[in-house]
Amino acid sequence: MARIAIIGGTGNLGFGLARRWALAGKDVVIGSRTADKAEASAAELLELCASRGISGKVAGAANADAAGAADIVVLTVPFSHQRPTLEEIKGALSGKILIDTTVPLVPPKVMRVQLPAEGSAAQIAQAVVGEGVRVVSAFQNVAADLLQSDEELDCDVLVCSDDKEARAEVVGLVAEAGMRGFQAGSLANSAAAEAMTSLLIFINKQYSTHAGIRITGIPDAD
């Protein structure tokens, strides 16, 4: 079984993904800037798994140690922390899949699309970690609040990467987190998913909801 490290796993999105995968029986390592904080979140998830009769495999560690201990690494930090966090952990990423959830939000105008000059946050990640790491973009359009609940997620996930096998593997992980994942092309296409987040933030505020995206017209997708 592949072990998943979630960098920034004590934050809303990271903890929500950790929760979903832990309850699905995955082997999860929560990463944080401080090991103590990560270990506390891991203990919380282990207690939840035990209460539901699930033999959870959850540990906590500092970010670099978490990345080194895993087969698949998920980056769930704000855009402003993306590059320094990747610089910290990139030595542990060689040959691995890196799932980058980063959205280039620039406060205070988070409801306005502001893509970086590089094209997308995912392309920045690939440039930082190098070609020896298979970067996959996913989970930008998922409401973190819903991930941390038992609600059914009425939301699809766009999965972009230049590596077809890595894309397919991440689509499987999306399903284990309770959503439908769709291969959406090369890493450059991540710009569309990242831009969509600002639209969804506006829609959520306008209509007081947790809107997501749905892909229609694909037979047997449900």
pLDDT score, position 221: 64
152-174 average pLDDT score:
96
More confident residue, 222 or 191: 191
CB of 5 within 8 A of CB of 69?
yes
Say if residue 176 is exposed, middle or buried (CB neighbours under 10 Å; 0-12, 13-18, 19+). middle
**Does the reported pTM lie above 0.95?**
yes
pLDDT score, position 80: 97
Summarised one tens digit per residue, pLDDT across range 128-162 is: 999 999 999 999 999 999 999 998 898 999 999 99
pLDDT score, position 219: 79
Is residue 204 very low, low, confident or very high in pLDDT (cuts 50, 70, 90)? very high
Helix (H) or strand (E) holding 135: strand 134-137
Question: CA distances (Å), 147 to each of 33, 84, 103, in order?
Answer: 22, 26, 17
What residue segments make up the domains of the chain, in order of their start? Answer: 3-207
Q: Which CATH number fits domain 3-207: 3.40.140.80, 3.40.50.300, 3.40.50.1360, 3.40.50.720?
A: 3.40.50.720
Say if residue 179 is exposed, middle or buried (CB neighbours under 10 Å; 0-12, 13-18, 19+). buried
Summarised one tens digit per residue, pLDDT across range 41-56 is: 999 999 999 999 999 8
1-21 average pLDDT score:
96
pLDDT score, position 222: 52
- Of the chain, the percentage scoring pLDDT greater than 70 comes to 99
Summarised one tens digit per residue, pLDDT across range 71-97 is: 999 999 999 999 999 999 999 999 999
Map tokens 């990345």 to a residue.
67
pLDDT score, position 220: 72
